[in-house]
Amino acid sequence: MPGWQDFQPFIVSGLALGGVYALSGVGMVVLYQATGVVYLAFGAVGAMGALIAWSLTDAGAPGWAGWLACVAFGAVVTLAYGMVFGPALAKRDPLVKATATLGLTLVLFGLMDLLWTTSGGQARSITLPTDGSGFGIGQVQVDWTQVISLAVGIAIAVATGLFLRLTKLGTAMRAMANDREITATLGVPVRRVEAAAWLGCGVLAGVAGILLADLVALDATTLTFLVISSLAAALIARLRSITLTFLAAIVVGLVHDLLTPVQSLTNYRDMTPFVLAAVALLVLSRHRAIARSREEA
């Protein structure tokens, strides 16, 4: 069993990872609340945005242009998908809506493999200017990217929570989570509210893509399926509570990284989000039926 000393650096990296998971998880929860869509293409959108950012920087563009492009790509693709397929599938089962986003995932995934071939063994990486500099707490070196990741995670969670509670748009989103039809009857511009949710989710996908590409790896497959990890946090919160999503994301990130120095478990640490989500789902479902009765699929 490794000592306390060995764990310290992983607390920092775990918190940073948890911050990004929280950011992604919150984005997915908000979209699910407003539209009933579990956006499984979240990771693929972020990954492609990050690859675009890499290409731009590689071609000599300044770093900030790349990051902007990444966020803009996430926003545009997500909004476009939401506008085209959102209304078409609005009345279908949540399962159908989620499966349709898997279609988008496959399209983006194929495009990424086609445009940024991985077979050449060319290693890509995104470095943020905040990577190099940092400060030390005790003996642990903390770089600013890690601080930003956690800070953005916290900021997004708090801001989203306040937004849903205090603003008119946020209230409309919460109303739609309850009942789309009745909300529409009350005169809420349903389509516009949904568009706002898609846009917000897309922006978060872009931001998460850049941060994860820096923290984890710039690799299409890895980034695309990191969405499953952030989905785990959202699932633990039953796709409902922002606070729970945030906490769960931090726990998932921490547990994942804290297992790294443990010899016997280090190879299994990637299971953390899956196991936590599976256990949470099964235990929670014991007490309350979480799935509403299925409408005709």
**Interacting residues with another protein (CB under 8 A):** 38, 85, 88-89, 92-96, 98-100, 102-111, 113-114, 221, 224-225, 228, 231-232, 235, 267-268, 270-271, 273-275, 277-278, 281-282, 285-286, 290-291, 293-294, 297
Rounded CA separation 212/219 (Å): 10
- For another protein, which is the closer residue by CB, 133 or 178? 178
If 0-12 CB within 10 Å is exposed, 13-18 middle and 19+ buried, where does residue 154 land? middle
Q: Tell me which H or E stretch contains 224.
A: helix 220-236
- For another protein, which is the closer residue by CB, 94 or 170? 94
Rounded CA separation 83/79 (Å): 6
Which residues are bridge partners to 134 per DSSP? Answer: 143
- For another protein, which is the closer residue by CB, 37 or 70? 37
Q: How far is the CB of 105 from another protein (least distance, A)?
A: 7
Q: How far is the CB of 13 from another protein (least distance, A)?
A: 19
Measured over the CA atoms of residue 153, residue 154, residue 159 and residue 165, the dihedral's sign is: positive
Pairing of strands 134-137, 140-143: antiparallel
Rounded CA separation 295/297 (Å): 6
Spatial CA neighbour of 211 closest among 128, 109, 123: 128
Q: How far is the CB of 267 from another protein (least distance, A)?
A: 4
Q: How far is the CB of 228 from another protein (least distance, A)?
A: 6
- For another protein, which is the closer residue by CB, 73 or 109? 109
Q: How far is the CB of 200 from another protein (least distance, A)?
A: 21
- For another protein, which is the closer residue by CB, 147 or 217? 217
